[in-house]
Structure 1
Amino acid sequence: MRWTVPNILTVLRLLAAPGLAVMFLYFNRPYADWFALILFVSAALTDWIDGHLARSWKQVTRLGTMLDPIADKAMVVIALMVIVGYSSMSPWLVLPATVILFREVFVSGLREYLGDTAGTLRVTTLAKWKTTAQMVAIAVLFSQGVFEHYFGMSVFGMDPAMVRDILAGQVEDLHGLWWKYRGMAWTGHLGIWLLWLAAALTLLSGADYFVKAVPYLKDDR
């Protein structure tokens, strides 16, 4: 095994995946949200950096080829678990997250079954777009958690009617409620739309892999 810079970045991304959940175990919010957001975005950027460096420096290795998709899947699966858990199981998040998790398990099972012929299921451009959509959606949803917590802290103990008047512009906004609420609303809606888009791309790429695998699943081969 060659411990090149791209491989080290991939391993760090893999180790960062469980760190997302750890942030919410050992830190209070909003620090946990901030740390998870920074960790996730940093790790997601290494997904592009390590691949670019490996190709530019001609350091593509079997270790990196094997670990790269595993690191991506670990990041996405654990991040979705955390986000869904803190969303009180909102169906708007649970449904696309279920589609994404099902596809990842299904395709991983296909690759394991195909063994030596798993090269048939090489990463496609559609699969790369799927991963990008997942990463962006999750980053936006983590940022929504930041806005949500700051808004909640600002309105804690405040009369609901007063909050409505402030957001309506009828009372002076001394605590920045308007931009916190707007940030929470916009990132929440955008994150959900992006996650549904990622789920649609996930379904398409999973179907593409299945079609390619069908000839190798027939009993008369």
Structure 2
Amino acid sequence: MIWTIPNVLTTLRLLAAPGVAVMFLYFNRPWADWFALVLFIGAAITDYFDGYLARLWKQESRIGAMLDPIADKAMVVIALLVITGYSGMNPWLILPATFIMFREIFVSGLREYLGDRSRLLAVTQLAKWKTSAQMVAIGILFLALGLDHVHQTNYDTLSAAALEAHLDADAEINEVWLAATGAWYAGTIGLVLIWVAALLTMITGWDYFRKALPFLKDEVGR
């Protein structure tokens, strides 16, 4: 492997995928949420720059072309597992996450089966939008996860008087209110975007299956 800057960025993104989950092993929440969010955003940014720099500097390589989609899928799948686990297994989140993970595994299986003919399943523009939608949705959901934990932690420590003041519609804006409001908006936007990403995921998955279908038919008379 030639360690060009694009290949280094791709490798770092691949390593960042399990790093998102590791944050929750070594740090307490909400610090784990914030570190995971920063790591995920940083890795998502490299997804643009590694391809852009490889084309700009004419440093495209086979190892980079192989690692790039693997790094993207690993980031998405691991992040979704973490988010669904810490979101109380919300069915409105589990369903689109299931669609996304099913499609990624299915398309990877198609590419493996097709072998050298897998170039027929080259990444389309819609598939790039799908990946972008997934990254943005997951980043917002990580933000909602952290804010919700801040809200719950502070809410549980409120005294009876403070709790009454918190529930008062005329109460002044405070940390608990801000965290709760931010978590609600981020969670709602994140869920909408993850459903949009799931829809794009299934559309692109069907497109790849349609292209591979002629090579999946058995020959008549064999």
Query: TM over 0.5: same fold?
Result: yes
Using the alignment, how far apart are the partners of 1:69 and 1:164 within structure 2?
A: 51
Measured against aligned partners, the alpha-carbon deviations of 1:69-101 in whole angstroms (never above 9, x if no partner) come to: 000000000000000111111101100000000
Q: Who is 2:53 aligned against?
A: 53
Name segments (4+ residues, structure 1) moved above 3 Å: 159-165
Q: Who is 1:83 aligned against?
A: 83
Using the alignment, how far apart are the partners of 2:213 and 2:175 within structure 1?
A: 56
| Partner-residue secondary structure (3-state), 1:215 | helix
CA RMSD of aligned residues (A): 1.6
Distance change >3 Å, CA 161–CA 93, structure 1 → 2 = farther
Measured against aligned partners, the alpha-carbon deviations of 1:170-192 in whole angstroms (never above 9, x if no partner) come to: 3334x422221110100000010
Distance change >3 Å, CA 50–CA 160, structure 1 → 2 = farther
Q: Who is 2:151 aligned against?
A: 151
Q: TM-score, normalised by structure 1?
A: 0.95
Superposed, which structure 2 residues align to 1:1-221 within 5 Å?
1-158=1-158, 163=163, 165-173=165-173, 175-220=174-219
Q: Do the aligned partners of 1:37 and 1:139 also contact (CA within 8 Å) in 2?
A: yes
Give the AA of the match of 1:196.
W
Tell me the CA shift for residue 38 of structure 1: 0.2
Using the alignment, how far apart are the partners of 2:207 and 2:78 within structure 1?
A: 25
Q: Do the aligned partners of 1:167 and 1:177 also contact (CA within 8 Å) in 2?
A: no
| Partner-residue secondary structure (3-state), 1:171 | coil
Tell me the CA shift for residue 158 of structure 1: 2.4
| Aligned residues with identical type, % of pairs | 60
Tell me the CA shift for residue 167 of structure 1: 4.8
Count of residue pairs brought into register by the alignment = 220
Tell me the CA shift for residue 139 of structure 1: 0.2
Distance change >3 Å, CA 131–CA 161, structure 1 → 2 = farther
Tell me the CA shift for residue 220 of structure 1: 1.9
Distance change >3 Å, CA 161–CA 155, structure 1 → 2 = same
Structure 1, unmatched stretches of 5+, are none
